[in-house]
Copies of this chain bind each other. A is one copy, B any other.
Amino acid sequence: MGVIDKQKTRRGRRGGSDYRPKIEQLPFRQPKIGFAPLELISEDQLEAIHLASLDILKDIGMEFISSDARARLKKWGADVDEATQMVRFDPQMVEETIKTAPANFKLHARNPQKTLKIGGRYIANGCVASPPNVSDMDRGRRPGTTEDYQNLLRLAQYFNIIHLIGGYPVEPLDRAVSTRHLYNTRDMLTLTDKAISGYCIWGKWVSDVIEMARIGRGISDSQLEEEPSLFTVINTNSPLKFDGAMLDGLIEMASRNQVVCVTPFTLAGAMAPITLAGALAQQNAEALAGLVMTQIVRKGAPFVYGGFTSNVDMKSGAPAFGTPEYMKTTIIGGQLARCYNVPYRTSGVNAANMVDAQAAYESVFSLWGTTMGGGNIIKHAAGWMEGGLVASFEKLILDVDLLQMVSEFLQPVIVDDDSLGLDSIVEAGIGGHFFGTAHTQERFRDAFYAPLISDWRNFESWQQDGSPQSWQKANKIWKQALEEYVEPPIEAAIVEELDGFIARRVEEGGVGVDF
């Protein structure tokens, strides 16, 4: 197939011996499942989990460590105990209140071409979010810095299969906490043009980020409220506890009609019952409480049901991801979200310490669960390792490849006279070859997905090249992607306004919470 190589050369950059073709990747598009998500448990079983979660909210209740949240819940009609901060919910009221959440909506990006459809059969992949550490195979594992943070953002921008900046791809620990959100958000808005996230850690922090999202898009406050432009995840402190700072953030986000995803982090056997049914009932109770909270703050506020129920290694207590149990809870989580007719957030996860077979199989098992389960937002889908403690440059590349493969799997199969191609069978002849047929020649360039990592050379060629493992190929690719990366265009006036806002807020001392 020498013809193909020549074709590629003509397309790529030339430069003598250091010539290297550009990375080939899929165009920016949201994958969409063409089939109904898998119903792993029966409707009766689903109903039993739903009812158990309502029982939990009614009989045990949840702790809400925010007086603002408790006051709103009390006004709504919840049974609030100010002494214990416990809130108990009437089941019928819960079922009634959650109906106002939208089934789907758009999450607007600075670049309108990258605005995301959230809900239905659409998938949006988010990059890794929030690890304190970063690693690559050259420099090893280390605390995250601004340089790493920015480089991971560049990769998230570069690769089209990453649709959402799902959070800080690594914590830049060299940035002061009080103003970190300002500089981090500026980087998100300038180094990428994709939909972005903020953290709900304090109300003021959140309002800063909402304001920057507004400036970044160059729109008015009212347009921002019509067009959700910021995504956030609220993790509950399972079991059954809502953190105060996060609740204040949730209230700020929902009141501005921005996207709130409540994700209980219910590791079965640690922060939730050891049985999957029990852990899911608890997950569902906590998620429903969050859903109620958003709809009390603002009817119709965009909400995403988050599921993150996995198991722990009962020998050591270590969290496990990409396990059979994770696959099941991920798929059932989707069934629950569809019960409430809201979009569903899942995660692409693993607990490996390096980009070896384990990292790959746990990640693909995760994706099997998220895809068949109808996940709409796949958080941590590129770069997450060690159960979230590390953002890995090589893992990000592996994940981009895996996500592209899932996306290609989800592309519809075409069956028509042209694709059936009986003429080519006649042309190839009995026992013949299809390489040379007209049917093949017309299609060979893009007939199949061309993976980034897979090494399909024969053993001898591979061995002569030093027997490279997958992570070694990934190591080369992220460096090349950073070289090829181009900063997306942005109006100078917008950057100026962002910088003016940051300067003012820095002068005010940021959020004043340094520790």
Contacts and interface: CB of A to CB of B under 8 A. Distances in A.
A437 B282 CA distance: 15
Interface in A342-400: 351-365, 368, 372, 386, 389-390, 398
Contacts of A467: 353-354
A268 B240 CA distance: 53
A421 interface: yes
9 contacts: A41-B415, A60-B430, A268-B448, A278-B419, A314-B448, A316-B457, A353-B467, A357-B398, A357-B471
The count of identical subunits is: 2
Given A360-B357, A364-B364, A413-B328, A456 B316 contact: yes
Interface stretch (A32-40, A164-172, A206-214): A32-40
A211 B477 CA distance: 56
Interface stretch (A48-56, A71-79, A480-488): A48-56
A414 B44 CA distance: 12
Contacts of A443: 274-275
B425 A1 contact: no
Contacts of A175: none
B415 A311 contact: no
Contact of A63 (B45, B357, B431, B434): B431
Most buried by B among A320, A415, A432: A415
Contacts of A191: none
Given A59-B422, A270-B433, A356-B356, 14 more contacts: A1-B317, A56-B422, A63-B431, A269-B435, A273-B420, A273-B434, A273-B437, A275-B418, A278-B424, A278-B425, A353-B455, A353-B463, A357-B357, A365-B409
Contacts of A332: 413
Interface of A: 1, 4-5, 34-35, 38-41, 45, 48-49, 52, 55-56, 59-60, 62-63, 86, 141, 237, 239-241, 268-278, 281-282, 311-320, 323-325, 327-328, 332, 351-365, 368, 372, 386, 389-390, 398, 401-402, 405-406, 408-409, 411, 413-416, 418-422, 424-426, 428-435, 437, 439-440, 443-445, 447-451, 453-459, 462-463, 467, 469-471
Contacts of A444: 269, 274, 314
A314 B357 contact: no
Given A274-B443, A274-B447, A49 B420 contact: yes
Nearest to A332: B413
A408 B62 CA distance: 33
Given A274-B439, A313-B456, A457-B316, A420 B361 contact: no
A430 B274 contact: no
Given A317-B1, A320-B454, A356-B470, A55 B274 contact: no
A321 B282 CA distance: 40
A425 B60 contact: yes
A457 B419 contact: no
Contacts of A422: 52, 55-56, 59-60, 278, 281
A511 to B, nearest CB: 25
A41 to B, nearest CB: 5
Nearest to A135: B459
A455 B240 contact: no
B362 A365 contact: no
B269 A425 contact: no
